[in-house]
Each structure stands twice: as structure tokens, then as C-alpha cells.
């Protein structure tokens, strides 16, 4: 995600360099899905397991995701974009808590680019980060208790991303873009059940410049 945050300011710089370009900034809401890996974590030892009384199964990937991104169209039909999607709230992952982040930089092709609607195809490269933490509760007597969360490590993977969205303008500058995406993440089966993670997002954004 930090790489995307460093990339997005470049969109503003390029937008000034190209007089006929347009710049979009947007915020997204939706979900990303992947099935469960089929294994678990032993609650007593912390080791991986398949079955057993103490074997807590790892979950599927899902729930609410937020997205942040931006696009610069260098011409009417071609541009570049950067985006990141993440779980704002951690999900339970057996005895741990996990948060998933996807980030990517894409080329954008708009076969339809009209005043009220833009059809966008995009594809690019990026990464996926699965971060883990463990929460421990401690009490002094019955009166004072505290909960402390500690990092348990993370797994980082390369990803290939592709997406299709329809950008609908509700005003001259404000748009809503429903979009479906597919994240191909090699070795993602170390955390979940498939290397393919489809997503569905609704982006709300603002366009600047010459459309």
C-alpha cells in the first residue's frame, strides 16, 4: 500500500505535464473473496493442523473492503491508474486476527468515453499483503483488565490485476463506478484456498481536467 501512496502524487505531476489530460481521484467500497484453505491452527501449540479438538479452521476471505485510488487519462482512451484495497477491520483467522491489502498499478483503456459514461478496462501488476496479529487479555483481580494486540508477522505476494468498470457521471465532475476485478496471487494458497481472488467495488470519485 505504501508503494501506491508514493505513486499517486505522480498522477498529479503528470496531469500538469499533459494539458489535455484528466485526473480522477476516488474512494471505493465493496468486498474481495477467496475460499478457505481447508486447514487450521492448533490453539494449544500454534502449529498448523487438519483436524483435532484444538484445531481451529482458518476462514475464507471476505467481508467489507475499502479502496483508495486515482487515474490519469493521458488521452481520451488511454491512461494509467493506481489503487489499493484493504480491510479496515481485522477478521478472525483461527487464533489470530488478519488484515488483507491489495495494491496495484495499471494501464487503463477506455473504449467508450462520453460525457456521461466511461467504460474502463484495466490491467496491471502489484502486490498482496496478509498481516497477522494476536490479541492477549490480562486482568489484575476482577477490577482492571486490558487487551493488547501484538504483530504476528505478515505474508507478501506478487499479484496480477485486471478489472472492468462503468463510470457514470451524476454531475459534470462527480461519478459513481461499479467495478469487478480479479486478483491473481501466486502462492496465495498459503493463506487461502485459491490463487484467484475476485472482487466487486463501487467507486465514488471526482474528475478534474479536460475530459
- Residue 45 C-alpha cell reads as 501449540
Which of 35-39, 74-78, 136-140, 185-189 is least confident?
Answer: 136-140
Please give the Cα distance from 19 to 2 (Å, whole number). Answer: 28
Q: What is the pLDDT of residues 117-147, one digit of tens each?
A: 999 999 999 999 999 998 776 676 666 777 7
For 2-37+57-209, CATH number? 2.40.160.20
Q: pLDDT higher for 81 or 5?
A: 81
Interior angle at CA 109, CA 175 and CA 18, nearest 5: 80
Q: What is the pLDDT of residues 1-55, one digit of tens each?
A: 555 455 555 554 554 454 557 899 999 999 999 999 888 888 777 788 877 778 8
**Residue 178 phi/psi, 5° resolution?**
-65, 140
Amino acid at each position: 500500500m505504501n508503494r501506491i501512496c508514493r505513486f499517486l502524487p505522480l498522477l498529479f505531476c503528470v496531469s500538469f505535464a499533459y494539458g489535455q489530460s484528466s485526473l480522477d481521484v476516488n474512494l471505493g467500497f465493496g468486498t474481495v473473496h477467496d475460499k478457505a484453505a481447508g486447514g487450521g491452527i492448533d490453539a494449544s501449540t500454534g502449529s498448523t493442523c487438519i483436524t483435532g479438538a484444538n484445531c481451529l479452521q482458518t476462514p475464507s476471505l471476505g467481508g467489507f473492503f475499502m479502496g483508495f485510488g486515482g487515474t490519469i487519462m493521458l488521452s481520451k482512451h488511454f491512461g494509467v491508474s493506481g489503487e489499493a484495497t484493504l480491510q479496515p477491520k481485522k477478521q478472525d483467522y483461527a487464533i489470530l486476527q488478519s488484515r488483507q491489502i491489495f495494491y496495484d498499478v495499471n494501464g487503463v483503456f477506455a473504449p467508450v468515453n462520453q460525457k456521461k459514461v466511461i467504460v474502463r478496462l484495466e490491467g496491471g501488476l502489484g502486490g498482496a499483503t496478509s498481516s497477522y496479529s494476536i490479541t492477549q487479555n490480562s486482568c489484575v483481580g476482577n477490577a482492571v483488565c486490558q487487551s493488547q494486540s501484538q504483530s504476528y508477522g505478515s505474508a507478501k505476494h506478487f499479484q496480477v490485476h485486471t478489472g472492468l468498470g462503468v463510470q457514470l457521471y451524476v454531475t459534470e465532475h462527480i461519478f459513481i463506478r461499479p467495478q469487478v476485478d480479479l486478483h491473481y496471487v501466486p502462492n496465495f494458497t498459503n493463506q487461502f484456498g485459491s490463487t484467484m481472488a475476485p472482487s466487486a467495488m463501487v467507486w465514488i470519485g471526482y474528475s478534474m481536467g479536460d475530459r
